[in-house]
Structure 1
Amino acid sequence: MRETPAFSPGTWALHGLVLIIVCIAEAIGVLRLPIGIAAIILLPMLYAFAMGIVLNPNITRATRRLLTPGVQKFAGGMITIAITPFVAKFGTTVGPQIQAIIDAGPALILQEIGNLGTIAIAFPVAVFLLRMGRETIGAVYSIDREPNLALIAEKYGLDSPEGAGVMGVYATGTLIGTFVFAIMPPLIHALGLFDVRALAMSCGVGSGSMLAACTGALVNVVPEQKDLILGLAGASNVLTYATGLYVGMFVALPLTEWLFRKARPELYNQG
């Protein structure tokens, strides 16, 4: 595939579409939809994400001539660059909240045990309900963000069944995870079961878009705790990147392989 220059007509069209989407999303603003004791908070990011999906060349034929495969590849590479200022902003919130982070230290570290929850919930569904093959290993051993994707790519290759599984969940998480993370915090907070600090830490799952949606919704619910929420969420996200890879490498992935070998030995041995 030919590389697309950063300032080709196709990329200028991409920048123009992105600017239009951002302007429309910001014009709509934050919407609150009351449902009983809670409210669903819709953020501009959600509208932008929805419009981006609609304009996807695989969905809307009208954009195929503008958003060629080369432009799409360029856009994918720009995600990391675009999210960098956002991550840096979270870094500046960690310092002022360092005491609160220290106080929550054990909880921040132990939250990585929650990564194993994907195995407990998703493995039975993948193996016994959906009858998936070795794709199960890549799909269920984590929430499949960038570090987890890299681990599968290194061990199996992305052209393997495990690679297909991790890429499927990665794409699904990118498309749907932002919506889920924007809706869940206000609903769970309304139940009164969890401290706002716990909800803030739960936002840091190693995904920039999910982190933004989750913290944005939570800050809208508890604006007076904005600095605390951003500080804990940012620290949680950093720790997830730092420790999540090792949990996946030494605990989650071997455990998933062992479970799959026990549940579907005939398919495991084919690999």
Structure 2
Amino acid sequence: MTKNVKLHLIVLAFVVAGEWIGSKQFNIGVGTIALFPMLYVLVWGGIVSWPKFKLLTTKQMKHAATILGISFMLFVAKLGTMLGPSLPKIFEAGLSLAFQEVGHVVGTIIIGLPIALLLGMKREAIGATFSIDREPNLAIISEKYGADSPEGRGALGVYVCGTVFGAIYLALLAGYLGSIGFLHPISLAMGAGVGSGSMMAAASGALAVTFPNDADNIALFAAAANLITTILGTYICVFFSLPVTVRLYNWLEPKIGRHRLSIDKGGERM
């Protein structure tokens, strides 16, 4: 504990500063961009851990990764306590909300994994594409492979990208799709519940601006969809998405993976 006092103080300062700034929303016409304390803290953490600044040592950053794994396990335990009280809400929302999990399979595994392999990723592709890599998904990868594993780095990389760009991307996308008028606002609200509070808030906020008369229903169905994705999606990732991604990786990587090490007849790597 005493060896990590500096690390704990930095984290505490970031949390206090992030909560003091609070959430900010900006209307850019086609949607609403939402900024949250988690985004600020993530950016600050990236700055202080930049090797050139020498504010944190490699050992301290590894200690932070260990602490992160412990906090993930506590978060999963919290999710488990949410399951029972949330069952009435899940049943009231209807089975249609559950079908959004199909998008996780099509979007991240079937499309994302081949692209990751073509770009040259190795086992990092498993962690990066088995889900949208929010907090529960990071906990799954950390528990199975470890936070400092290739799979863990892949999942964390997508988590960072999702945190930095996800809210902005979904806000713009939701506002644009809503302005087209082709899709019903409630269906768009369901799609906003991807399992991330910041992304859901950004997307539903943009939809509320586009459809002010349906603002209450948009918030309700977006929250219900997000709840189902957070709870049901965790079990789908454990028992389906991750095993399927691993099998698909083992099948596709020798065929389309870039920068593969070939082995000649003598057994030496080329």
Among residues 162, 183, 187, which one is paired with 2:151 in the alignment? Answer: 162
User: Could you list the per-position Cα deviations for residues 133-190 of structure 1 after superposition, in whole angstroms to 9, with x for gaps in the alignment?
Assistant: 1111111111011111111112212222111111111111111112112211110111
Distance 2:156 2:197 in 1: 17
User: Could you list the per-position Cα deviations for residues 209-250 of structure 1 after superposition, in whole angstroms to 9, with x for gaps in the alignment?
Assistant: 112211221112212212211111111111111110121122
Match of 1:41 in 2: 32
Q: Is the 8 A contact 2:18 2:41 kept in 1?
A: no
The amino acid that maps onto 2:28 is R
Match of 2:267 in 1: none
User: Could you list the per-position Cα deviations for residues 80-122 of structure 1 after superposition, in whole angstroms to 9, with x for gaps in the alignment?
Assistant: 99xx9xxx9xx99x99xx79x83x5121011111110211221
User: Could you list the per-position Cα deviations for residues 186-215 of structure 1 after superposition, in whole angstroms to 9, with x for gaps in the alignment?
Assistant: 101112221111111111111111122112
CA RMSD after TM alignment? 4.0
Q: State the 1:31 CA deviation.
A: 2.8
Match of 1:140 in 2: 129
Q: How does 1:195-234 map to 2 (within 5 A)?
A: 195-234=184-223
TM-score normalized by structure 2? 0.70
Match of 1:178 in 2: 167
Q: Is the 8 A contact 2:32 2:202 kept in 1?
A: no
Distance 1:125 1:114 in 2: 17
SS of equivalent residue, structure 2 residue 182: coil
Aligned residues: 236
Distance 1:9 1:160 in 2: 27
The amino acid that maps onto 1:31 is N
Among residues 95, 100, 103, which one is paired with 1:111 in the alignment? Answer: 100
Distance 2:150 2:171 in 1: 31
Q: State the 1:30 CA deviation.
A: 3.5
Distance 1:169 1:108 in 2: 24
The amino acid that maps onto 2:48 is P
Distance 1:15 1:256 in 2: 35
Aligned in 2, Cα 1:4/1:208: closer, same or farther, shift over 3 Å? Answer: farther
* % same residue: 35
Distance 1:231 1:262 in 2: 41
Match of 1:32 in 2: 28
Distance 1:158 1:49 in 2: 20
SS of equivalent residue, structure 2 residue 32: strand
Distance 2:173 2:231 in 1: 25
Aligned in 2, Cα 1:4/1:203: closer, same or farther, shift over 3 Å? Answer: farther
SS of equivalent residue, structure 2 residue 48: coil
Distance 2:13 2:247 in 1: 48
Distance 2:140 2:150 in 1: 14
Distance 1:153 1:11 in 2: 20
Match of 1:236 in 2: 225
Distance 2:134 2:220 in 1: 21
The amino acid that maps onto 1:163 is G
Segments of 5+ residues of structure 1 without an aligned counterpart are 34-38
Q: Is the 8 A contact 2:175 2:206 kept in 1?
A: yes
Among residues 43, 48, 53, which one is paired with 1:57 in the alignment? Answer: 48
The amino acid that maps onto 1:165 is G
Q: State the 1:42 CA deviation.
A: 3.6
Among residues 242, 245, 250, which one is paired with 1:253 in the alignment? Answer: 242
Distance 1:52 1:31 in 2: 23
Aligned in 2, Cα 1:14/1:40: closer, same or farther, shift over 3 Å? Answer: same
